[in-house]
Amino acid sequence: MKTPQAPGRRKFLKDSVALAGGLVIGFTLPLKGGRAWAADTPVAPVYPPNAFIRIGLDDSITIIVNKSEMGQGVYTSLPMLIAEELEADWSRIRVESAPVAVVYNHTSFGMQLTGGSSSIPSSWEQMRRVGASARVLLVRAAASLWSVPESECHAENSRVLHANSGQSLSYGALATAAAKLELPQDVDLKSAADFKLIGKSVKRLDTPEKVTGRAQYGLDVYLPGMLTVLVARSPVFGGKVRSFDATEARKVPGVQGVYQVPTGVAVAASGFWPAKTARELLEIVWDEGVGATLSTKGMREQYRALAKTPGLSARREGDAGGILEAAQQVIRADYEVPYLAHAAMEPLNVVVDLKPDQCTIWTGTQSQTMDHAMAAKTAGLLPEQVKIHTTFLGGGFGRRANPRSDFVIEAVQVALVVKKPVKVVWTREDDMRGGYYRPMWVDSVAGAIGQDGKPVAWRHTIVGQSIVADTPFESFMTHDGIDATSVEGAANLPYSIPNIEVGLHSPKNVVPVQWWRSVGHSHTAFVVETMMDELAHQAGQDEVQYRLALLEKSPRHAGVLKLAADKSGWGKAKLPAGHALGVAVHQSFDSVVAEIAEVSIEGGKVRVHRVVCAVDCGMVVNPDGVRQQVESAVVFGLSAALHGEISLDKGRVLQSNFHDYTPLRFSEMPKVEVHIVESHDRPTGIGEPGTPPIAPAVANALFKLTGKRLRQLPIDRATLA
Amino acid sequence: MITLNVNGKSMKVDTDPGTPLLWVLRDHLQLTGTKYGCGIAQCGACTVHLDGRAVRSCVTPVSMANGRQVTTIEGLAETVLGKTVQSAWQDIDVPQCGYCQSGQIMAATALLQENPAPSAAEISTAMDGILCRCGTYNRIRSAIDAAAAELKGAAK
């Protein structure tokens, strides 16, 4: 996704007060043990200075978070931004998920969406202004009550104080008076030197719920009279039901009905187990369509042939073709990476309560606005008749921001025929075989080096499906036929090379594809950074020094590379016999990360012992949060690099569950060190940038151990002898 | 009719005896802290204790739990051990998305119950069956070490 830009101040203030002006939003707890959801009946007088803050008369402060919590810590980091400027007592902060409303739109995407590593960058100013404007009102209310100048009052720890008279009042006590005041047109923000919370490692607010089993995910929502529904979907992408026989399925105790829906055959039952048992007894004849001829093997041949031709130009400087033709030292290499499933620990699921004039949805989504619009359209209701409650997400990684709202639309279609509250549950197998994968990519690169060893020409041809093609995102993310996410990390190669060509082919097929943590960077970093290593080796130079010499115009790249080299003991530390270090550096989502991996081969298996990460993500809001995200991104990338592969034969996905699509396990976990570059620049993304460098860092270390270049992933597929 | 003792409370459940314990806990008893992740004992998100030992509730027929003590994440804080493990998890801020953490905590507690001072290798073996996609494994190890140290201190 595109990097967000800072919104205009004026626009922000206009949006943020859309729900103010006397509208009181109350909250109730409709579900047993559930989180609080927005409801229509107020339970206590409250003060909403804006759509993001509610101050209770009991001094409680509720922050309404407009980003989905999928592990990345937004239920802590966004409240920190507000609390900093609000001068709030952090111990009294609680969090609720935002309903769907324009005021909660992403500041640059223009819709409610969590993705693109953009939550902090896009909220950095917005949330601080939200906090500051509420603080101004509370101070103003106190000054007015005491008949003293505002300038003599200050706010601290959820109280307004007047030092001269020694008077003070809590925010709760001031809430009612403050609610009558008009929001300020503009506010001043603190300078970084005055931050009390920002920059400190603050404990996550969601941890207590998550260690006691109280945290509510979509799968944990139970409504009275609700049925659990499993859908039998086509074994081949794009296939349709021709006919089905549900005689045996209907005999399973607990089964309430079997229905044909657009995506397949839905079994509704009193619980998961009867629904699953019955689904296995369905006899369905499918019209499989063209998808039945697809195989990974065939696609590989098609893609490799395409990679030999130039494609659409994503970047062209100088005359790479001519130089490559004439150069003495040229390396040509072909790369291939597979389809990848997100495989979040919580399989997809949606609860829908559909009434004639109202549709209420509970789900862990990253894409509220689009899901909301598609749910309304599917249900035949007006947008204001549809509500979405965003639960905790048991992992997202991009899958839960589906540009086609696939899982939400299907659940509403199910609710339309079942005519009772439904929970549509995807089994692990459904989730794994349900598509919307990171695309399979084939890349071809040719690099030439000159007398001094430096690269003089670089030609990179990329082949793979566009993830935004035929989606609402296509119009603004594709230009001149180039999907920006297909070439990100390749077209903006940071190295100084005088002649560069980057070309793209975007073949289409029926396999649904989607963003997967770090999107296009997940393959371009592997290709670019292993090729840079080859060029360094060809030039007979140290891989870190070689890169640094080409990064004079990219100081952030150079900074993290030096830091990672220093902390890992690159070129200095004595490694155990059979161990080697590999390096990679990559920029994504405006942050730059260098990683150095210490790797060995034990009994034919690759073992990653230690990963040293150096990160430049601008100013840091919650340092431990940044460390968590980088640790997580490394593991996500390493799982894919070592083991991850979705493949097809006769249109069928060959993998189905965690025995054949294996995330990294506990015993494989390397030590991960995260070093953060001190920066005073505005914050940049952190959820994804740790993922791209790990695959090339490991591959480059393996070259040192084996003398063979690894150009295909996963590493499990390679012969390492 | 199956009689279960869940978190110290006796309960009767009317269900097919072959139904996995996981779905009885979730769909019948609404004890939703125990999670569904794979259904084939590959991810461990559904780990509960049966008479104090860690089992995968997704492949444990409820009939096997008939008349036995079932402990889920909701009942874990009833013991000093369980409470210590949960507070170590909290001190180290282990969870990210949190979905696998009930299973991680149940497995860690069962490990410490049997082996109060596990070595690094023993921790790896005991925890290898519980998947985490957010990469919290190193923090889980730190939390187990911290809980073991806390319990050792308390026992002195």
How far is residue A545's CA from residue A541's CA, in Å, rounded to a whole number?
A: 7
DSSP state letters, A555-587: HHHHHHHHHHHHHHTTTTSPPPTTEEEEEEEEE
- The confidence score (pLDDT) of residue A185 equals 81
CA distances to A223, A465, A466, A558 from A501, rounded to whole Å, are 57, 20, 19, 24
Residue A88 has pLDDT above 80, yes or no: yes
Q: Smallest Cβ distance to B73: which of A207, A212, A345?
A: A212
Task: Work out the number of other CB atoms within 10 angstroms of the CB of residue B1.
Answer: 8
What is the arithmetic mean of pLDDT over B111-129?
98
Tens of pLDDT, residue by residue over A560-607, are 999 999 999 999 989 999 999 999 999 999 999 999 999 999 999 999
Model confidence at A645: pLDDT above 90 = yes
Q: Give the model's pLDDT for residue B156.
A: 66
A679 CA: distance to closest CA in chain B (Å) = 25
Q: Residue A55 in 3-state DSSP?
A: strand
pLDDT band at B155 (very low <50, low <70, confident <90, very high): confident
CB A670 within 8 A of CB A637: no
Question: Given a cut of 80, is residue B59 above it in pLDDT?
Answer: yes
Neighbouring CB atoms inside 10 A of A590's CB total: 21
Q: Is B146 at the interface with chain A, CB within 8 A?
A: no
Under 8 Å between Cβ of A658 and A714: no
Domain chopping of chain B, boundaries: 2-75, 76-155
Q: Of the candidates A73, A228, A345, which has its C-beta nearest B45's C-beta?
A: A345
Q: What confidence score (pLDDT) does residue A26 get?
A: 23
Indicate which of A35, A227, A666 best probes the interface with B, i.e. most B CBs within 10 Å of its own CB: A666
A666 neighbors B124 (Cβ within 8 angstroms): yes
Q: Angle A124-A129-A135 (CA atoms, 0-180°, nearest 5)?
A: 135
Give the model's confidence band at A42: pLDDT under 50 very low, under 70 low, under 90 confident, else very high.
very low
H-run or E-run covering A500: strand A499-505
Grade residue A721 by pLDDT with cuts at 50, 70 and 90: low
Place of tokens 């991810």: B43
CA dihedral A93, A97, A102, A105 (to 10 degrees): 80
Q: Is A41 on the interface with B (CB under 8 A)?
A: no
Interface of A with B in 397-426 (CB under 8 A): 397, 425
> With contact defined as beta carbons under 8 Å apart, do A529 and A693 qualify?
yes
Structure tokens given for A128? 């601080």
For residue A619, what are its two tokens?
A: 């100013």
pLDDT at A47: 60
Band (pLDDT 50/70/90 cuts) for residue A4 is very low
User: Residue A506: CB partners within 8 Å, gap ≥ 6?
Assistant: A312, A464, A465, A466, A469, A481, A483, A486
Q: In this structure, what are the phi and psi dihedrals at residue A682, rounded to the nearest 5 degrees?
A: -65, 150
Residues A96-105 have pLDDT tens digits of 999 999 999 9
pLDDT at A182: 87
B92: closest CA of chain A, how far (Å): 9
Per the rule left: phi > 0, alpha: psi between -120 and 50, beta: everything else, A397 is left
Per CATH, B2-75 and B76-155 having the same topology is answered: no
Looking at residue A476, its pLDDT comes to 87
pLDDT at residue A33 greater than cutoff 50: no
- How far does B109 lie from chain A, in Å, by closest CA? 12
3-state class (DSSP) for residue A216: coil
Q: Give the Cα separation of A179 and A137 in Å (integer).
A: 8
Q: Is the pTM of this model over 0.90?
A: yes
CA pair distance A453, A547, nearest whole angstrom: 12
A229-242 average pLDDT score: 98
Distance from C-alpha of A354 to C-alpha of A361, rounded to nearest angstrom: 8
Per-residue pLDDT, averaged over A326-334, amounts to 96
Residue A24 above 80 pLDDT?
A: no
CA distances from B134 to A209, A589, A635, A664 (A): 17, 19, 7, 10
Phi/psi region, residue A578 (left: phi>0; alpha: psi -120 to 50; beta: rest), is: left
Contact A204 B93 (CB under 8 A): yes
Q: Worst-scoring range by mean pLDDT, A10-14, A162-166, A251-255, A694-698?
A: A10-14
pLDDT band at A489 (very low <50, low <70, confident <90, very high): very high
Average pLDDT over residues A660-682: 97
B28, B45, B105 member nearest A211 (Cβ): B105
- Which CATH number fits the domain B2-75, given the four candidates 3.40.50.300, 3.10.20.30, 3.10.580.10, 3.30.200.210? 3.10.20.30
d(CA A51, CA A40): 15
B145/A contact by beta carbon, under 8 A: no
Burial (0-12, 13-18, 19+ Cβ within 10 Å), A652: middle
Residues A68 and A365: beta-carbon distance below 8 Å: yes
User: Is the Cβ pair A272, B136 closer than 8 Å?
Assistant: no
Task: Please report the pLDDT score of residue B154 as a whole number.
Answer: 82
- Report d(CA A717, CA A640) in Å as an integer: 12
The secondary structure of residue A712, as a DSSP letter, is B
Of A721 and A668, the structure prediction assigns the larger pLDDT to A668
DSSP A134: H
Residues in Cβ contact with A10 at an 8 Å cutoff, skipping those fewer than 6 apart: none
pLDDT cut 90: percent of chain A above it: 89
Among the listed residues A113, A92, A236, the one whose alpha carbon sits nearest the alpha carbon of residue A170: A92
User: What domains are defined for chain A?
Assistant: 9-212 (3.30.365.10), 218-288+348-425 (3.30.365.10), 296-340+437-717 (3.30.365.10)
The tokens describing A538, both together, are 């060809």
Give residue-wise pLDDT tens across range A117-151: 999 999 999 999 999 999 999 999 999 999 999 99
Residue with tokens 């101070």: A139
pLDDT at A25 over 70: no
Closest-CA residue of chain B to A346: B37
How high is the pLDDT of residue A179?
86
| pLDDT per residue as tens digits for the range A377-433 | 999 999 999 999 999 999 999 999 999 999 999 999 999 999 999 999 999 999 999
pLDDT at A678 over 70: yes
Is B98 in contact with A215 (Cβ distance < 8 A)?
Answer: yes
**Residue A358: in which H helix or E strand, if any?**
strand A358-363
Contact (CB<8Å) B97/A344 = yes
As a whole number, mean pLDDT of residues A514-525 equals 98
Separation in Å, CA of B7 to nearest CA in chain A: 13
A49 has a pLDDT exceeding 90: no
Residues 6+ apart with CB under 8 A from A37: A27, A28, A29, A30, A31, A96, A97, A389
Task: Share the mean pLDDT of chain B.
Answer: 97
Q: Which of A209, A273, A395 sits opposite B133 (nearest CB)?
A: A395
Distance from CA of A28 to the nearest CA of B (A): 20
Q: Is the pLDDT of residue A499 over 60?
A: yes
A392/B130 touch (CB, cutoff 8 Å), yes or no? no
**pLDDT higher than 60, residue A32:** no
Residue of chain B nearest A673, judged by CA positions: B138
* Percent of all residues in chain B with a pLDDT value above 90, rounded to a whole number: 96
Q: Determine the Cα–Cα distance for residues A161 and A180; give it in Å rounded to an integer.
A: 20
Chain A residue with the nearest C-alpha to that of B75: A212
Confidence of residue B105 (pLDDT cuts 50, 70, 90): very high
Q: Write the pLDDT tens digit of every residue in A312-325.
A: 999 999 999 999 99
Q: Measure the CA–CA gap between A108 and A217, rounded to whole angstroms.
A: 28
Taking the Cβ of residue A251 and every Cβ of chain B, the question of whether any pair is shorter than 8 Å is answered with: no
Say how far apart CA A602 and CA A11 lie, in whole Å: 58
| Residue among B27, B84, B94, B140 with most chain A CBs within 10 A, to mutate | B27
pLDDT given at position A57: 87
B130 touches chain A (CB under 8 A): yes
Q: State how far residue A73 is from chain B, nearest Cα, in angstroms.
A: 7
Crossing angle of helices A521-538 and A694-706, rounded to 10°: 30
Per-residue confidence (pLDDT) for residue A48, from 0 to 100: 58
Q: How far apart are CA A616 and CA A564, in angstroms?
A: 11
Contact B133 A344 (CB under 8 A): yes
DSSP string, A405-425: -HHHHHHHHHHHHH-S-EEEE
Which residues in chain A have Cβ-Cβ distances shorter than 8 Å to B34?
Answer: 213
Cβ of B34 under 8 Å from any chain A Cβ? yes
The whole-number pLDDT of residue A35 equals 31
Closest CA to A386 of A366, A415, A406: A415
Sheet holding A93-97, edge to edge: A46-50, A53-56, A61-65, A93-97
Structure tokens at A228: 């659990």
Note the pLDDT of residue A13: 33
CATH fold of B76-155 reads DNA polymerase; domain 1 (1.10.150)
> Which among A258, A411, A434, A405 is positioned nearest to A342, based on CA atoms?
A434
Q: State yes or no: pLDDT of A31 exceeds 70.
A: no
**Min CA distance, B153 vs chain A (Å)?**
23
Query: Residue A527: beta bridge partners?
Result: none
